[in-house]
Amino acid sequence: MTNQPNRIAIAALVAWMTGVSLALAAPATTNELRWGEAVGGLQMAVSVEPRAGFIHCWIRNAETNEITYNRYLLGYFEDVGIEYNDGADWRRLARAASRFRGYKGVGPTLQDLERLPPLQVITNGSVSLFLWADARYGPWIATTNGGLVGLTRELRTDLPQPSSFGATFGVDIGDFEWPTGILAGATEIRVFQNLSGPGHDAPITIRSLPVRLEGRTIQEFLERLRHDKN
């Protein structure tokens, strides 16, 4: 397991802003991933790391020819989320309250266009291991570097950190409100990603195939998350 650095500086955040199966660990290669329906030439696959409370998400070109896509919204929390099946329909989980999220500025633009070869997977995205849940971090700490005053927060050391699997982006399970009904038993979830802007004829939503999760595994992680040892 490769640990994410345990210090998240404000400067890094500002720089970032400019079939059902049980998936418990990342596959050895992207060839082993189960891909969802192609939309706008793109597909998504996911793998869940329950102990770390994290979902690794890969997006690839589903076509046999090169395509152009807009990378601006990849992994951005306002355009990514989790949907769950309540037995009658798919519903979206609400985001948990957080003082930590950073919002993007103007975009997407032509400068955000990327070409993607046939069946190529977008790997090692800038937010592939980004942890959004506010409770994963300790208090803000004032720092001084070269006379400049800044703020930083440290990741809690009592929580497992996600493995580095080189995914396109990641989804933090702790950054969502989980209804009691989901935690009471097994449920199906899926991840969605909205993309729009230059490179897309119209806004699109890419979804993974459903993944079955045991509510107790989510509950166990959320209990560790809420047990702040700092």
Strand ranges, E, within the chain: 7-9, 42-49, 54-61, 67-70, 80-85, 90-92, 113-116, 121-122, 141-145, 148-154, 169-172, 186-195, 204-207, 211-214
Which ranges of the chain have pLDDT less than 70?
1-31, 99-105, 228-230
Tell me, what's the pLDDT at 21?
Answer: 37
Tell me, what's the pLDDT at 20?
Answer: 40
The per-residue pLDDT for range 102-151, each reduced to its tens digit, is 666 677 888 888 999 999 999 877 778 888 888 898 888 888 887 778 88
Read off the pTM.
0.82
Question: How far is residue 90's CA from residue 85's CA, in Å, rounded to a whole number?
Answer: 5
Tell me, what's the pLDDT at 230?
Answer: 46
